[in-house]
Amino acid sequence: MMIRTSGQPSKLGLHLTRTFIYVLLVILLLMTIVPIWMLIVNATRSTTEIQQGISFWPSTHLVENYRFLGSRGINLFKGFSNSMYVSITTTLITVYFSFLTAYALVVYEFKGKKFFNNFIIVLVLIPAQLSIIGFYQYMSRLGLTDNYASLILPTIANAAGVFFGKQYFESMLIQDLIDAARIDGAGELGIFHKIMMPLAIPGAATFGIFAFVFAWNNFFNAFILISSFDKYTLPMLVQTLRGDVYRTEYGAIYVGLAVSIVPILIVYALFSRYIVSGIAMGAVRE
Amino acid sequence: MRLLKLRRNHYGYVFITPFIIAFLVFGLYPIYNTFALSFTNTTLMNASSAEFVGLENFKRLFADDFFMKGITNTWLLWLLNFTPQIGIALLLSAWFTNARLKIKAVGLWRALFYLPNLLMPATIAALFFSLFQFYGPANQAIVQLGFVDEAVHFLQNVSVARILVIFIQWWMWFGQTVIIIMAGIAAIPVHLYEAAMVDGATGPQMFRRITLPLLKPILIYVFVTSLVGGMQMFDIPFLLTDQRGGPSSSIMTNNILMYMKFSSSKGHIGAASSVGVLVFIMTTICALGIFYVLRERRAPTQRRQEEKVLDPVQAQMAKLKAQE
């Protein structure tokens, strides 16, 4: 069969196009990687070295830089464990309740289900951060400001999580399993906890990574709601690093910044495949 | 049996109850409270003696150039990062999925481009602040290479500050947009392309006539979610310069203005709420409006939708052939 080739690029043209694309990709890659690499490298260099010029090779002053921050009252370890506590609790809570809600929407037929489904989509599009002032004043009336509960509890109602969970449960063939478990006399909550949730672990883990990263990176809410220094999460410490005291101690600043992103880099190196496919999963349907 | 099924379906309500309670308590009530506060002169000091002042806060906002500046800045910063973001993402997606080009290691490129999106925005802002400050590496580089004689006060320049915010936002989001668009392209039936290739269509032609029209729902999703995020832009412009959106309020966004009113010496939470309320209304109307107006109703069956699309494609192909 002859396929007409007029209007299609010639061999040479294709070759040139490909070269052009690779050059562009490399430029984009350098733009992506160089700032991050410089951050990590500078965390290991002394302030003098940093002032002398740019280098892409690590030096030996990491520990020294870290100690300097400690001597100025910035306890990175404390900030790190605060962030870990908030992020892990948030992740567990938001994944559990999102999947519980999603499961109900996939498995049961009830009045108002359609409305609730549409409502979830609307919620994803609502700019919730703009109600932070009302949220703050309300929390302070309840005595919950400067308390991690004000960061953690709202994530029980996570519309994006329900959306994700729904996609996941819909992609699993579950009705037979549920029927079998019911015949064996299992209760509805039991079925969810003992059968469905364990089966949904790959999906829950994928969404969990997103929930974790989001909680880990969340600056705005913590910045408004948390006030005592020993409760500061990492993004808040990062913000104080910019204060005048540290402005001339570049090495120390870079260490503080590096601590906030290295855990994420490690998570990404391990799970990038799931993360990338997870983004697609949340978006494709609608 | 029917009764049993009915009783079972009641669990639907049981299972969604925690979500609904949490939404009412932590989602809906704070929105109501923000609206309610915006009609009062509440400050952090006078919580008990606050008074209802009607539309006073809103009148003051509209009379204040600062507010309009915040709105303009936010739209400007969002539009100027979204346009190149969607442009580059479409281009990369088209290349990555082009069977003739056979770009290698697509998964790896994609994963690396997405990386900045996962990093803490506070850290990224602080990083770019360090890179572009007077004694920072950017100045070192241009002085050492002989582009300029003296270091430049990058962050005191209105245009540079804006360009940096736009660049950072673009940098953080184009990778994610590539992933979403590629997932959308992967969902397009292959036989459409096969048919077009048999008819002698070129890569760009297929992209314009098949890929783009079928990507519409995905593009709307990207557009609307980016808009909602963009209207709430805070971390990057707040932490890049003086925490007031300087120089000359050039990167002062809606949320920065809201925060500044909140954190003013008296803590004008009534006035801060009114900023939140107006931006909330503006964003919600734009987002939901665009979403529901532009969104194609999904055809009842995939098959029917394919046929509907196939026809215009074939019509186009015939037209192109006739032109040659």
Residue B211: which of B80, B102, B43, B99 has the closest Cα?
B99
Is the predicted pLDDT of residue B319 greater than 50, yes or no?
Answer: no
In a domain, A169, yes or no: yes
Residues A179 and A160 grouped into a single domain: yes
CB-CB neighbors (< 8 A) of B224 in chain A: 125
Is the predicted pLDDT of residue B297 greater than 60, yes or no?
Answer: no
CB pairs under 8 A between A and B: 286
User: Cα separation of A184 and A180, whole Å?
Assistant: 6
Bond prior to B247 in cis (omega within 30° of 0): yes
* A193 to chain B: closest CA residue: B15
CB-CB neighbors (< 8 A) of B221 in chain A: 283, 286
Of B110, B115, B187, the CB nearest to A268: B115
Residues A55 and A144 grouped into a single domain: no
Residues A55 and A79 grouped into a single domain: no
Q: What is the mean pLDDT of residues B193-219?
A: 87
* A280 to chain B: closest CA residue: B180
pTM: 0.88
Is the predicted pLDDT of residue B312 greater than 50, yes or no?
Answer: no
C-alpha B6, offset from chain centre: 43
Of A8, A261, A279, the CB nearest to B119: A261
Residues A125 and A38 grouped into a single domain: no
Nearest-neighbour CA in chain A from B5: distance (Å): 9
Select the residue from B102, B119, B223, B278 to test the A interface by mutation, using most A Cβ atoms within 10 A: B119
CB-CB neighbors (< 8 A) of B269 in chain A: 133, 136-137
Residues A56 and A175 grouped into a single domain: no
Nearest-neighbour CA in chain B from A150: distance (Å): 9
pLDDT digits (tens, 9 = 90+) for B128-185: 998 898 888 888 888 888 888 888 899 999 999 999 999 999 999 999 999 999 989 9
Final residue of a domain: which of A52, A67, A82?
A67
Given a contact cutoff of 8 angstroms between Cβ atoms, the answer to whether A32 and B171 are in contact is yes
* ipTM of this complex prediction, to 2 decimal places: 0.89
Residues A35 and A166 grouped into a single domain: no
* A54 to chain B: closest CA residue: B137
pLDDT of residue A247: 66
Select the residue from A69, A116, A129 to test the B interface by mutation, using most B Cβ atoms within 10 A: A129
Residues A166 and A31 grouped into a single domain: no
pLDDT of residue B187: 86
Angle in degrees, 0-180, between the axes of helices A250-283 and A234-241, rounded to the nearest 10: 140
Nearest-neighbour CA in chain B from A141: distance (Å): 10
In a domain, A279, yes or no: no
CB-CB neighbors (< 8 A) of A146 in chain B: none
pLDDT of residue A285: 43
pLDDT of residue B163: 96
Residues A146 and A201 grouped into a single domain: yes
Residues A78 and A42 grouped into a single domain: no
pLDDT of residue A185: 87
pLDDT of residue B258: 95
* B133 to chain A: closest CA residue: A247
Please name the residue ranges forming H helices in chain B. Answer: 2-23, 29-37, 56-63, 65-96, 106-114, 121-132, 137-144, 158-186, 190-198, 203-206, 212-231, 235-240, 254-262, 269-294, 302-323
Is the predicted pLDDT of residue B269 greater than 70, yes or no?
Answer: yes
Q: What is the mean pLDDT of residues B19-43?
A: 94
Of A129, A133, A238, the CB nearest to B123: A238
Residues A127 and A157 grouped into a single domain: yes
pLDDT-derived band at B307, boundaries 50, 70, 90: very low
Domains by residue range for chain B, with CATH: 70-323 (1.10.3720.10)
In a domain, A212, yes or no: yes
Does residue A183 sit at the B interface (CB-CB below 8 Å)? no
Given a contact cutoff of 8 angstroms between Cβ atoms, the answer to whether B128 and B168 are in contact is yes
Residues A82 and A39 grouped into a single domain: no
Which helix (H) or strand (E) segment holds residue A251: the answer is: helix A250-283
CA dist B111 → A220, A264, A284, B121, B124 (Å) = 27, 14, 18, 18, 18
Of A97, A125, A280, the CB nearest to B180: A280
Q: State which residues of chain A have pLDDT below 50.
A: 1-7, 284-286
pLDDT of residue B306: 42
The amino acid sitting at B1 is M
Q: How big is chain A, counted in residues? A: 286
Q: How many Å from the N-terminal Cα to the C-terminal Cα in chain A?
A: 40
The contacts of residue B53 (CB under 8 Å, 6+ apart) are B39, B40, B41, B270
In a domain, A285, yes or no: no
Of B32, B123, B259, the CB nearest to A257: B123
pLDDT of residue A176: 84
Query: Which CATH number covers residue A89?
Result: 1.10.3720.10
pLDDT of residue A53: 78
Given a contact cutoff of 8 angstroms between Cβ atoms, the answer to whether A99 and A197 are in contact is yes
In a domain, A276, yes or no: no
Q: How big is chain B, counted in residues? A: 324
User: Cα separation of B131 and B133, whole Å?
Assistant: 6
- Strand-pair partners of B52: B40
In a domain, A249, yes or no: no
In a domain, A257, yes or no: no
- Which residues constitute the domain of residue A53? 11-67
CA dist B259 → A222, B167, B232, B235, B262 (Å) = 13, 23, 12, 11, 5
pLDDT of residue B296: 58
A142-148: long-range pairs with CB below 8 Å, 24+? A145/A225, A145/A226, A145/A227, A146/A225, A146/A226, A146/A227, A146/A228, A146/A231, A147/A225, A148/A85, A148/A86, A148/A89, A148/A226, A148/A231
Which helix (H) or strand (E) segment holds residue A32: the answer is: helix A11-43
Is the predicted pLDDT of residue B3 greater than 60, yes or no?
Answer: no
3-state secondary structure of B40: strand
pLDDT of residue A282: 64
Residues A54 and A169 grouped into a single domain: no
In a domain, A183, yes or no: yes
Cβ contact, residue pair B101, A18, below 8 Å: yes
Is the predicted pLDDT of residue B291 greater than 90, yes or no?
Answer: no
Nearest-neighbour CA in chain A from B131: distance (Å): 8
Domain count, chain A: 2
Question: What value does the mean pLDDT of chain B take?
Answer: 86
Does residue A235 sit at the B interface (CB-CB below 8 Å)? yes
Cβ contact, residue pair B118, A275, below 8 Å: yes
